Amino acid sequence: MKVLANDGISQSGIDTLKNAGFEVIVKKVAQEQLKDYLNENAISVLLVRSATKVRKDIIDNCIHLKVIGRGGVGMDNIDVEYARSKGIAVINTPAASSSSVAELVFAHLFGGVRKLHDSNRNMPLEGDSKFKELKEAYAGGVELRGKTLGIIGFGRIGREVAKIALGVGMRVIASDQNVGEAEITLEFYNDQSIKIPIKTEPVDMLIKDSDFITLHVPAQGKPIIGANEFEKMKDGVGIINAARGGVIDEEALLAAIESGKVSFAALDTYENEPNPAIKLLMNESISLSPHIGAATNEAQERIGVELAEQIISILKKEKA
């Protein structure tokens, strides 16, 4: 059977599939050519990340397709239920990239409270001529220790974020419609560990009490955070979105930054990917990254192997 990894796959994933007898093609096929390519090459398994979309036209017309795999968590680029209704297995890797996303959240958070994202723009331009002025401009940062982090969405990624926050010495509050309480395990050297239970609370309560807010929810039909929610937040709050574009109203975010309600924001995902709004890209109070939450070497290795093992399990069962 043939596997097309249209958005790439780790070498360990390739090796696992090849050892099980699969032919693996790693090639980027343009979206408009994908349907024909899948049919002409009798592709049984299509692997994607967030760039490739798998909609009804592909599902209806690609007769060889047996499995669609998403390397990552969210599957909003796939018509999941429709594919399953047609007998096509749809899989993803919800656990593989949790740590990577959580670490990116804190990369943005540590940088944001010290204005490093803006300092790194201006030091190369004016560091030799305006050192004292820049030193004054970027003074007045704050520490994370003792501050309250609100986590909206307390699944695998949200819990990994909580682990780092607790390790830094932050207070953690969480909100999740499907989780009432979760136990966070902090692991230390020599097999020592501490278990900390965290009860969730409504978003309205979380946003009033948080110094910083980070979102870890699936794609939504409308923003979770808009003008009304910003109004209820503490003055000077920091907000991070490494979940999905559209869970924050970007126009409302810009207005909240302008008014001083939000001291800084960090965005890894955007409403209009791959063409984020210029107003966001040019705003000196926003730390930016190009949807790289899961893009660590370690996460991609885990994703590749996890996808391969699921594919082998599904298709070997089918043969049996």
Query: Whole-prediction pTM value?
Result: 0.90
Query: Which part of the chain is CATH 3.40.50.720?
Result: 2-93+297-319, 98-288
Is 121 marked active-site?
no
Residue 154's contacts (CB-CB under 8 Å, 6 or more residues apart) are 162, 174, 175, 176, 179, 182, 198, 200, 216
Q: Which of 244, 250, 302, 306 is catalytic?
A: 244
Superfamily of domain 2-93+297-319: NAD(P)-binding Rossmann-like Domain (3.40.50.720)
- Torsion sign across C-alpha atoms 156, 248, 242, 206: negative
Q: Please tell me which residue in 201, 251, 273, 309 is annotated as part of the active site.
A: 273
| CA–CA gap between residue 17 and residue 14 (Å, rounded) | 5
Burial class (CB in 10 A: 0-12, 13-18, 19+), 312: middle
Catalytic residue among 108, 156, 291, 302: 291
CA 174-204-114 angle, to 5 degrees, is 60
CA gap 260, 251 in Å, rounded? 14
Is 108 an annotated catalytic residue? Answer: no
Q: What is the pLDDT along the chain (320 residues), one digit of tens a residue?
A: 999 999 999 999 999 999 999 999 999 999 999 999 999 999 999 999 988 999 999 999 999 999 999 998 889 899 999 999 999 999 999 889 999 999 999 999 999 999 999 999 999 999 999 999 999 999 999 999 999 999 999 999 999 999 999 999 999 999 999 999 999 999 999 999 999 999 999 999 999 999 999 999 998 989 999 999 999 999 999 999 999 999 999 999 999 999 999 999 999 999 999 999 999 999 999 999 999 999 999 999 999 999 999 999 999 867 65
Q: Which CATH number fits domain 98-288: 3.40.50.720, 3.30.70.580, 1.20.272.10, 2.60.40.420?
A: 3.40.50.720
